[in-house]
Amino acid sequence: MKNYSKQREAIIAYLDSVYTHPTAEEIVKGVREVIPNISLGTVYRNLNDLVANHKVLILHIDGDKDRYDGHTAAHAHLKCYKCGKVEDIFLKDDQLSVLKEIGGEDFSLDYNALCSGCKIEK
Amino acid sequence: MKNYSKQREAIIAYLDSVYTHPTAEEIVKGVREVIPNISLGTVYRNLNDLVANHKVLILHIDGDKDRYDGHTAAHAHLKCYKCGKVEDIFLKDDQLSVLKEIGGEDFSLDYNALCSGCKIEK
DNA sequence: TATAATAATAGTAATGATTACTGATTTAAA
DNA sequence: TTTAAATCAGTAATCATTACTATTATTATA
């Protein structure tokens, strides 16, 4: 990641603009609105670099594709076991300090539970 | 998972006996000491069932195979970004209650940091 | 017990998300 | 500019995991 590339900037801009935890395929579809012929391989390669540099978070989901999150401020994820949706859980300062105390700054915290929508239905 | 199977029991026993977060291939290798012709597909199928029933934890690791953990008491994982090893972090009661307060009982908490070995070397 | 119905298995084939490759293009430094 | 390094699009390859199938094991019932 030593040179500028408009493809990478467009990927970052797209991830900044959404709060939906898209897959690589959803990202390439979104970025193609701006760069019509960007290839899926380019998206994967840049996402890997961005993840390695902590600019983007990767979410591994049981039996599903990886998802990506451009909003790196510490937060937890709730994976709904009913509908599969991933929701953000925003952490309070005191919760955050406990998490950092356990094992450092760089963590991921994922919950299996019902999302707000499915909780209401139930 | 309605009938008994010695294959599943052997998988559970193997996972109980180790603290190394093995992959499916390591598990099949270990279980073959007891059931020489158990197949990898059987291991995967049983692991999926056990994960769905919260008897076993699954660990998704960036760019690597999934790993499994038979010790389901709540704990965090430290993935060493230098050597790749996964270590358990045991949680204190007050830390645990904060985690449950955030999003419920069923969570996974993973840290990217240096493991105890690599920390010393450094 | 036998018998029947269901569940699980071994072995193998197929899948598909992700990565690797290649020749062309872009970037950035001298 | 010229040159070297980085990145790209497009496509082929990989390989962890899942799906399939014919056989065997388990459980329930008579």
Nearest CB to A109; choose among B51, B61, B107 = B107
- Strands B107-113 and B75-80 come out as parallel
Query: 3-class SS at B85?
Result: coil
Give the pLDDT score at B95.
Answer: 97
Nearest CB to A111; choose among B51, B106, B110 = B106
- What's the average model confidence in pLDDT over A24-32? 97
Confidence of residue B39 (pLDDT cuts 50, 70, 90): very high
Nearest to A49 by CA among A104, A3, A105: A3
Asked if A113 and B102 count as a contact pair (C-beta separation under 8 A), the reply is no
Q: What is the distance of C-alpha B13 from the center of its chain?
A: 13
Interface contact flag, B106 A113, Cβ < 8 Å? yes
User: Residues of A32-70 as b/e, b for ≥16 C-beta within 10 angstroms?
Assistant: eeeeeebeeebbeebbeebbeeebbbbbbbeeeebbbbb
% residues pLDDT > 70 (chain A): 99
Give the pLDDT score at B112.
Answer: 86
| Chain D footprint bases within 7 A of protein beta carbons | 5-12, 16-20, 25-27
Residue with tokens 């094992």: A103
Residues A59-95 have pLDDT tens digits of: 988 778 999 999 988 899 998 877 778 899 999 999 9
Interface contact flag, A102 B110, Cβ < 8 Å? no
* Angle formed by the axes of helices B6-17 and B24-31, nearest 10°: 110
* Phi, psi angles (nearest 5°) of residue A120: -65, -50
A58 pLDDT higher than 80? yes
A:B CB pairs within 8 Å: 73
- What's the average model confidence in pLDDT over B95-118? 91
Nearest to A115 by CA among B103, B58, B109: B103
- What's the average model confidence in pLDDT over A10-22? 96
B1 pLDDT higher than 90? no
Q: Where are the alpha helices (DSSP H) in chain B?
A: 6-17, 24-31, 40-52, 93-103, 116-121
Nearest to A110 by CA among B62, B102, B65: B102
Confidence of residue B122 (pLDDT cuts 50, 70, 90): low
Indicate the burial class of A101 (C-beta count within 10 angstroms; 0-12, 13-18, 19 or more): exposed
CA distance B1 to B15: 18
Q: What share of residues in chain A are helix, strand, coil (percent, to 5)?
A: 40, 20, 40
**Half-sphere exposure in the Cβ direction for B67 (13 Å, CA):** 19
- What's the average model confidence in pLDDT over B32-50? 97
Q: Assess A96–B contact: CB distance below 8 Å, yes or no.
A: no
Give the pLDDT score at A122.
Answer: 58
CA distance B69 to B58: 6
B73 pLDDT higher than 80? yes
Q: How far, in Å, is the CA of B63 from the C1' of nucleotide D7?
A: 22
Average confidence score pLDDT of chain A: 92
- Which chain B residue is nearest to residue A77, measuring alpha carbons? B103
Q: How far, in Å, is the CA of B3 from the C1' of nucleotide C1?
A: 21
Confidence of residue B80 (pLDDT cuts 50, 70, 90): confident
